Amino acid sequence: MDQSVGIVTTEYATFDVELPLESGRLLGSPLTLAYETYGCLNSSRSNAILVTHAWTGDAHAAGKHTPDDRKPGWWDDMIGPGKVLDTDRYFIVCSNVIGSCGGSTGPTSINPRTNRPYRLNFPVIMVRDMVRAQKLLIDHLGLDSLLTVIGGSMGAMQALEWGVLYPETVRSIIPIAGTGRTSPMAIALNALARQAIFNDPLWKKGNYKPEHPPAEGLALGRAVGHISFLSDASMNLKFGRRFSARDGMFDFFGQFEVERYLEYNGRNFIDRFDTNAFLYLAKALDLYDVAWDFANREEALSRIDCPSLWFAFSSDWLYPPQQSEEMVTLLKKLDKPVEYHLIDSDYGHDSFLIEPEKFTPLISAFLDRLATS
């Protein structure tokens, strides 16, 4: 029977280095990464798996921090004894990316040059920068190789970058609900979220007080993003055209249930995420292109030496299946070992979080094959 990893603690690794960024700027020193680990490293140090998180995720992927926590980590369905990322077999690492607000260096951190929070003085980062920072952590943990790097959405981008940047380290990658480059539509949706925040008078060009964030703008920005994580089918299943029971249908300010849901989701979000961090990570998503600093995508993908396992979801309209299929086609053209599965799901982009049971057997089989190869 599947079990939990139990009570876990977030750890912090701080590096006395300046990290060169794709923008040409340097980040740090010091540079801090928050991370959690689950399971034990085997004697040959060959069973390590790196889990990479999505846009507003963090290092807390499994278990609970206290017995009273209402919810476990964001991928608890996947990580634990007897689960697909079996902590009886594997040593799992999950780190919070730079630019975020989950304990790693980001816009809320203290700028060592000024002794004040970075805010908008924090440099623009790219997904590739996140991965280079993760490599510092993996080296710090004494891991010469990773059995796989697995993640969904922005996590899929990181997994792909690991394959491109560090082919000598990764033995496989598993990008889930990802893309090789962000589409104009996805960028447009993030632009709306940005404008919602910029138009909030409390944003103050990023110089808001933490106790008085631009709550209205961030809640609306999150709602715009959240719509892209859903699908028409999932909205019909969850809400239909039901009108809120607390409102009159002909009350001008009355709301449908889907409206109340978006409002509730946005309000909860402002309590756990920093506005500037939200903006910096959105910019990193917009800038993502695996071909960055290469002649084209083929040149970038030619660096991948390991097997890759790709998943896309039928109702995902943020990173639709054809975007994963483009990558798979190019990898096949380059004669790289690649496996692809299109999963039928009504839950849109969030399918990888909501219905893991639809694809976890395929991951287990893939990892089993790696272990015997």
Indicate which CATH number applies to the domain containing 178.
3.40.50.1820
Whether residue 327 is found in the same domain as residue 179? yes
Whether residue 144 is found in the same domain as residue 70? yes
Residue 207 neighbours by CB under 8 Å, 6+ apart: 119, 120
CATH (domain of 262) = 1.10.1740.110
Would you say residue 236 lies in a domain?
yes
Catalytic residue (choose from 274, 286, 316, 346): 316
Would you say residue 240 lies in a domain?
yes
Catalytic residue (choose from 53, 60, 226, 349): 349
Residue (of 127, 173, 169) closest to 149 by Cα position:
173
Residue 136 neighbours by CB under 8 Å, 6+ apart: 13, 15, 17, 19, 31, 33
Whether residue 16 is found in the same domain as residue 65? yes
> Rounded to whole angstroms, how far apart are CA atoms 99 and 349?
23
Q: Which of 261, 282, 303 is the last residue of a domain?
A: 282
Whether residue 36 is found in the same domain as residue 109? yes
CB 363 within 8 A of CB 339: no
What per-residue confidence (pLDDT) applies to 2?
Answer: 61
What stretches of the chain show up as alpha helix (H) in DSSP? 127-140, 154-165, 184-198, 215-229, 232-238, 257-269, 275-287, 297-301, 321-333, 351-354, 360-372
Whether residue 177 is found in the same domain as residue 74? yes
Whether residue 251 is found in the same domain as residue 336? no
Residue 108: burial class (beta carbons within 10 Å; 0-12, 13-18, 19+):
middle
Would you say residue 76 lies in a domain?
yes
Would you say residue 134 lies in a domain?
yes
> Binding residue per annotation — 132?
no
Would you say residue 6 lies in a domain?
no
Residue 235 neighbours by CB under 8 Å, 6+ apart: 258
Would you say residue 289 lies in a domain?
no
Please report, in tens digits, the pLDDT of each residue of the chain (373 residues total): 468 999 999 999 999 999 999 999 999 889 999 999 999 999 999 999 999 999 999 999 999 999 999 999 999 999 999 999 999 999 999 999 999 999 999 999 999 999 999 999 999 999 999 999 999 999 999 999 999 999 999 999 999 999 999 999 999 999 999 999 999 999 999 999 999 999 999 999 999 998 999 999 999 999 999 999 999 999 999 999 998 877 777 788 888 999 999 998 888 899 899 999 999 999 999 999 999 999 999 999 999 999 999 999 999 999 999 999 999 999 999 999 999 999 999 999 999 999 999 999 999 999 999 987 7
Would you say residue 287 lies in a domain?
no
Largest CA-CA distance found in the chain, in angstroms, rounded: 68
Would you say residue 271 lies in a domain?
yes
CB 150 within 8 A of CB 158: no
> Binding residue per annotation — 260?
no
Question: For the chain, how big is the Rg over CA atoms in Å?
Answer: 20
Whether residue 323 is found in the same domain as residue 349? yes
Catalytic residue (choose from 4, 153, 231, 315): 153
Whether residue 90 is found in the same domain as residue 66? yes
Q: Which of 235, 254, 282 is the last residue of a domain?
A: 282
Whether residue 21 is found in the same domain as residue 131? yes
Whether residue 212 is found in the same domain as residue 95? no
Whether residue 122 is found in the same domain as residue 205? no
What per-residue confidence (pLDDT) applies to 1?
Answer: 47
What per-residue confidence (pLDDT) applies to 371?
Answer: 80
Q: Which of 253, 282, 311 is the last residue of a domain?
A: 282
Whether residue 95 is found in the same domain as residue 243? no
Range(s) of the domain holding residue 40: 11-183+294-372
Number of domains in the chain: 2
Active site residue 349: yes
Number of helices and strands in the chain (H, E): 11, 14
**Residue 43 to residues 40, 170, 364: CA-CA distances in angstroms?**
9, 18, 22
> Rounded to whole angstroms, how far apart are CA atoms 195 and 190?
9
